[in-house]
Amino acid sequence: MSKFRVLVWKELITILRDPRIIIPLIVVPAVLYPALMGIITYGMKKSMKKPPVLNICIVNLDRGDYSRKILDKLRLYGFTNSSLSTIKIIIPENFSEKLKQGLKPKIIVHIRISKIEPGLSASPEIKSVMALNNIIESVCSEILANEFGVRNISVLKKPVTIKYNTTILGFKTNINPSIIISGIVNQVMTLSLIVFVIAVYVAQISVTSFAQEKESKTLETLLTIPVPRYYILLSKAIAIIIVAVIATLTTTITFYKFASTSMYMSEEVSVQLKQISEIVNSKLLAKANITLISLNILLTLIFIIALSLLPAVFAKDVRSAQSLAGPLIFLVLFPFFIVNYGLWSTLSTTGKIGLAIIPFTITYIIPYWVLNGEYMYTALGLIYLTAITIGTFTLISKLFSSERMLTAPARRRMRLKWRRIRLSV
């Protein structure tokens, strides 16, 4: 047992002495994970502070005492009456009388949403609807409890029926808008998560391609073949791109099937999901739009291939290549959290432009641009992804055509050896 313990200790010391393992596994997460959590917390707090839409259109057809109490409560919370608002509340006739008789009166809410913001944070319109629901239900519950002595908890929790007439991106439905928007955002987030996982997988393939050649000493043999050096680079890149194309097709088809079908057994939830699917089908899965999203995914994967090939210039084996590629994963991870956890919608225009310099930010934003019909931004995003991918491949081609591919690790070893000699002297 003691011999086994010695062997384990020896292997552990060997691993811990290698900075290529310590840096990506311990140092980088110790810095970046708290930063990610800070981004999520900050984004959620900022989104919670966004004020709701306080200008609403109120049509009171009841003129009774109880409807006036609701209006007084709304004014107390800062809501004002405006005929130009995207939110309209109709209090029908005999509302007060039905409430007095315990008949659970109805209130109609019309809401028009023309844009869906990225992330899980609620839009100002949704916050207004949620606040209105709470105010109306609390006022009616107080009336029933204080004036009529109602003690039934189920009645007090839902004293009125709120009927929604929602228009989202031109699509009309009678479901609570917060449910519709949450469903759409969750589907887009699912697509982003799939792209992230595939990008990490493709990056690992790319970064180890040349490292394996170096480690097995076959790169020198390849370089003696009488073909231009960039042919070798291009052949590897094309092979990985074919894998990326297959991954793109698989992702697109899977997302199309997932987004356009109902998978829930509950009738109520199934109806809601069907409404969400109809919006997604008409907006996100139209032929032109799904083509743009597929192109976005493909360009992203080609860019991560190009970016992952850069560490191969400086890596001498597979382990060092993977350690150098580790920080690249966080370039994909940071924008994912920023876009999908509410921080994007709180940024100023300058902040959004600065964040969009990271190409993967464009990757996660384009589905929302397509969803909202912002095709000019979509085109600019795709052009930017194309340009930076071409630029990265050009840089790699120049590095590969030089002797740096072979001499960079050797020069680094010589510098370390010379440093040891100087210290010993």
Report pLDDT digits (tens) over 148-160. Answer: 777 777 777 888 8
Phi-psi region of 207 (alpha: psi -120 to 50; beta: other; left: phi over 0): alpha
Q: What is the pLDDT of residues 116-143, one digit of tens each?
A: 888 766 577 777 888 888 888 888 888 8
pLDDT of res. 250:
77
Lowest-confidence region among 43-47, 54-58, 127-131, 310-314:
43-47
Please tell me the chain's helix, strand, coil percentages from 3-state DSSP, rounded to the nearest 5: 75, 10, 20
Task: Please give the average per-residue pLDDT across 36-59, as a whole number.
Answer: 68
User: Parallel, antiparallel, or unpaired: how do β-strands 55-60 and 161-168 relate?
Assistant: unpaired
DSSP 91: E
Rounded to an integer, the average pLDDT of 56-76 is 86
pLDDT of residue 423 exceeding 70, the answer is no
Model confidence band, residue 338 (pLDDT cutoffs 50, 70, 90): confident
Residue 89, token pair as written in the block: 């509340």
| Residue with token string 């956890």 | 341
Highest-scoring range by mean pLDDT, 208-212, 309-313, 388-392: 388-392
Contact at 8 Å (CB) between 131 and 122?
no
Domains in the chain, CATH or no CATH each:
57-168 (3.40.1710.10), 183-424 (no CATH)
Amino acid identity of residue 369, one-letter, is: W
pLDDT of residue 406 exceeding 60: no
Q: Alpha helices, DSSP H only, in 19-64?
A: 19-22, 28-49
pLDDT for 285: 67
What count of residues does the chain have?
425
Confidence of residue 404 (pLDDT cuts 50, 70, 90): low
Are 129 and 108 in contact by the 8 Å Cβ rule? The answer is no
The single-letter DSSP state of residue 137 is H
> What's the pLDDT band for 84 if we cut at 50, 70, 90?
confident
Per-residue burial over 387-401, b = 16 or more CB atoms within 10 Å of its CB, e = otherwise: ebbeebbeebbebbe
